[in-house]
Amino acid sequence: MVDSSPDEREWVTPPESFVETANVTAADCEAFREAGWPECWERPADLLDWDRSFDSVLDDEGTTRWFPGGRLNASYNCVDRHVEAGRGGETAISWEGKLGETRTYSYRELADEVNAFAAALREMGVGEDDVVTLYLPMIPELPVAMLACARIGAPHSVVFAGFSADALATRLAGTESEYLVTCDGYYRRGAALDLKSRADNACVSVDHAVEQVVVNRLDDDPAAGDHRAYADLVADHAGAEIEPVSREADDLLFLIYTSGTTGEPTLVRHTTGGYLTHVAWTSHAVLDLGPEDTHWCSADVGWITGHSYAVYGPLALGATTVLYEGTPDHPETDRLWEIIERNEVDVFYTAPTSIRAFMKWGEQHPESHDLSSLRLLGTVGEPIDETAWHWYRDHVGDGECPVVDTWWQTETGGIVLSTLPGVDRMRPGAVGKSLPGIETDVVDELGESAPPGESGQLVVTRPWPGMARSLCEGSGWGARRTRTVDGEWQYATGDNAVRDEDGYVHLLGRADDVLKVSDRRLSTTEIESAIVGVEGVAEAAVVVGEDADAVRKSEIHAFVSPESNVAGDDALRGRVREAVEEAIGPIAAPDVVTFTPSLPKTRSGKVVRRYLAAIANGEDLGDTSALRNPEVVGELESLLDR
């Protein structure tokens, strides 16, 4: 229960100097309210250049379509229009490589390379609506390729470079993608990793032919023949000018896989007009970005956060975005602070997991650098506790910077709940309220509003522009997550939450089978099927447990039931981990593997992960009488008494 007695609550007020210059003021919020929903979204859409203006803000007849009749191109909005406005010389991307190298792209240079690569893709036969898969690490070619796809109306599907060949193959097959842009390899903690063989292995295991383009990152000069070299394509098409394809607002901009409520990998599709409006507006309103700013969103572009706030949001506003290829503690634990100092970063956006790691490494690292350029800090991806919140503000933000704790999901496209840094007081540990133009609620099982202080599921009660297209359609998983209660539409987020007396929302974690490990979202089904594929394993279930040193706050805990004549020993444990690394990637490998004769199941045979999660976290299990095999829970508890 959240404490709602006014004396106990802590408020932090943004500094006057910030409030005076903030992009969004209390008057803007009032104007939003006065405009009413959905018309209030007309003004945010003005942040973009439309080839044809929309006929209405929202068409809500049957399928929800934002900005019907409107046409635009995302690449034009993120690149060309800034050049046309005379800002071609300003920095669009400032890249920090793993080996300490740096590269910058001005908007003019970005336009040139995007045009050249768009021409190359076209020449390869990529047409409008063909899906292009991008399997690249954090190198500038990744945003260039995204924007080149957007230019020709080809939706991209970015696959995180840490994923394995098998995971890539599933995603290539699921999107029927016939084009893959990858690279020879990349550096991780000083070691070179081979990406090309992973890509090759994936391509041979899909049923259709996949044409590859390979970026030369390691100077390995990958053998010619089965692919085209990115550098050659760009050189051959230097000077090309590709007219940006005018897309309908509702046309797809990209596809991205995430894990769905049942733990299955799920394909989420985002639109051009609604998504771009949402991320441009929230970058402007919540991250307070403008053309003069340097923004650093430390998330990998392989995940939604990187799509929205390292690429599309900041570039739509003409800001500078910093991309970093490496890890925060390599070669030294002050690497991030050095990058912030050198790039004079204005706004820094990262995950609580990273903040907890910074705390562990010590405040002497940020304090030994000049971080005075920072004026706003943001967090995303998981709950941030009050201690980490204060540490972040005190030692990175000099005790002055507002901190925005932003809640959203792959499905929402952009930020949904947060404080507005120039308007709202902050409450450490709570994300804040829904942004203007968005309505959310915390509801009980029947979908009725829960009173303040009582937990329930967080739902969004009105469509919003960044919503995945899959959520607007009447069938498929989107339909399963939306419902109508008393004539009111609701999107079930899958998160448990509680609102305090002031309406600020505190997040309590997932209510479904989505596995959230630190800020990464993984598929339970994908991990479990990899484990069950190991010889000698009968069944498996994975849950999230709190990690021993509480830096990551979460670790993957696998409960594995071996076949009757097989020993649950370290050798099997090793094989389980290896199998997951191979099927998905090292980030999904279980941290703890516990062997059990059987898994707790309902009478109908469904594994109850809730009990396993409670065991992994040392929590009270409550009533287990609904289980077919309640005795197994007691056995597991004694096994894990650590």
The footprint of ligand PRX (CB under 6 A) covers: 258, 304-305, 380-383, 405-410, 431, 493-495, 507, 510, 516, 521
CB of 455 closer than 8 Å to CB of 461: no
Strand locations in 110-200, DSSP E? 132-134, 156-158, 179-183, 185-188, 191-194
> How far is Cα 319 from Cα 30, in angstroms, rounded to an integer?
27
- Measured from the Cβ of residue 238, the count of other Cβ atoms closer than 10 Å reads 11
Q: b/e map of 344-367 (b: 16 or more CB within 10 Å)?
A: ebbbbbbbbbbbbbbeeeeeebbe
298: tokens are: 């430390």
3-state secondary structure 579-601: HHHHHCCHHHCCCEEEECCCCCE
Q: Which is nearer to ligand PRX, 77 or 493 (CB)?
A: 493
- Cα 53 to Cα 49, 129, 249: the distances in Å are 9, 22, 10
CB of 447 closer than 8 Å to CB of 453: no
Half-sphere exposure of 215 (CA within 13 A, CB side): 21
- DSSP-derived 3-state class of residue 9: coil
Q: How far is the CB of 166 from ligand PRX (least distance, A)?
A: 21
> How far is Cα 633 from Cα 355, in angstroms, rounded to an integer?
35
Residue 586 one-letter amino acid:
P
> How far is Cα 424 from Cα 405, in angstroms, rounded to an integer?
12
> How far is Cα 411 from Cα 427, in angstroms, rounded to an integer?
26
Q: Which is nearer to ligand PRX, 143 or 383 (CB)?
A: 383
Written as one string, the DSSP assignment of 402-447 is -EEEEB--TTT-S--EE--TTT--B-TT--BEEPTT--EEEE-TTS
Q: How far is the CB of 476 from ligand PRX (least distance, A)?
A: 18
Q: Which is nearer to ligand PRX, 334 or 405 (CB)?
A: 405
| Helix, strand, coil percentages in the chain from 3-state DSSP, rounded to 5 | 30, 25, 45
Residue 302 one-letter amino acid:
G
92: tokens are: 């669009």
> How far is Cα 20 from Cα 27, in angstroms, rounded to an integer?
12
- DSSP-derived 3-state class of residue 104: strand
Q: Which of the 8 DSSP states describes residue 86?
A: I
- DSSP-derived 3-state class of residue 175: coil
CB of 537 closer than 8 Å to CB of 531: yes
Residue 439 one-letter amino acid:
E
Q: How far is the CB of 407 from ligand PRX (least distance, A)?
A: 4
Residue 277 one-letter amino acid:
T
CB of 592 closer than 8 Å to CB of 580: no
Q: How far is the CB of 279 from ligand PRX (least distance, A)?
A: 12
CB of 309 closer than 8 Å to CB of 279: yes
CB-neighbour burial class of residue 446 (10 A; exposed 0-12, middle 13-18, buried 19+): exposed
Q: Which of the 8 DSSP states describes residue 556?
A: E
Q: How far is the CB of 396 from ligand PRX (least distance, A)?
A: 17
Q: How far is the CB of 411 from ligand PRX (least distance, A)?
A: 7
CB of 449 closer than 8 Å to CB of 441: yes
Q: How far is the CB of 305 from ligand PRX (least distance, A)?
A: 5
3-state secondary structure 323-345: EECCCCCCCCCCHHHHHHHHHCC
Q: How far is the CB of 378 from ligand PRX (least distance, A)?
A: 9
Q: Is the dihedral of CA 214, 219, 225, 226 positive or negative?
A: negative
Residue 229's Cα: distance from chain center in Å?
A: 29
